[in-house]
Amino acid sequence: MREIVFDTETTGLSPHDGHRLVEIGCIELVNRVETGEHFHCYINPERSMPSEAEAVHGLSIHFLSDKPLFAHVAADFLAFVGDSPLIAHNASFDFGFLNWELQACGLDPVCLTRMVDTLAIARTRHPGAKHSLDALCSRYGVDRSQRVKHGALLDAQLLAQIYVELTGGRQIGFSLADATGPTTVEVGFDAAAIERRFRPARPHHASEMELARHAAFVLTLADPLWSGLRSAA
């Protein structure tokens, strides 16, 4: 099964307040295994960059000024993700910006049925715990030492590892995808389909020689425990 883990960076919290996407990072998984294929781009938001947002991701408007507009990368993004499920942390945030940008270009939004939210999964699996990306990296031993600031591609790479742990760990997909396409991983087995053969108990009894040796050994015992039991009876 092919899935896409993705993350976005933006100029603010809501597209309805005039904020825009500035970065998209996507990681391809096949049978919960990273294939090495990814999509990444920076985007010119055609607006100023609030200092609060720049402090989070470090992307200045000067850096973004010569980057393509979303309309110019939308086709490549859609081609990469195809019809695969899209996994994000607090996914409604990323889907909100993504679909706003798509509709602004006259394109159809991504159906919300494709959305997989790792934040919701984490809250179900670990109620009462911290569910930030950093907290989940600590919980599952994912190395986040390079995460000095938020970055869409790096965060998608970290989230891909967390998603695998949240959904069962590495043991659910030992087979890597090969160059010819996805592999099929069988999870579990049908116990009813296993052939069961009746094996009678193996006969075992002492031979005449073994009985004679045992009797001779008993005669050598001094004051055996059972002699006292016989006297009491």
Residue 150 a catalytic site member: yes
Side chain identity at 19, as an amino acid letter? H
Contact yes or no for 75/32 (Cβ under 8 A): no
Catalytic residue among 19, 38, 131, 150: 150
Distance CA 190, CA 44 (A): 53
Distance CA 56, CA 208 (A): 87
Task: Record the tokens describing residue 91, joined without a space.
Answer: 């996914």
Kindly calculate the radius of gyration of the chain based on its CA atoms and give it in whole angstroms.
32
Distance CA 181, CA 117 (A): 26
Task: Record the tokens describing residue 36, joined without a space.
Answer: 């090495």
Q: How many helices (H) and strands (E) does the chain have?
A: 9, 5
98: alpha, beta or left? (left if phi > 0; alpha if psi -120 to 50): alpha
Catalytic residues: 150
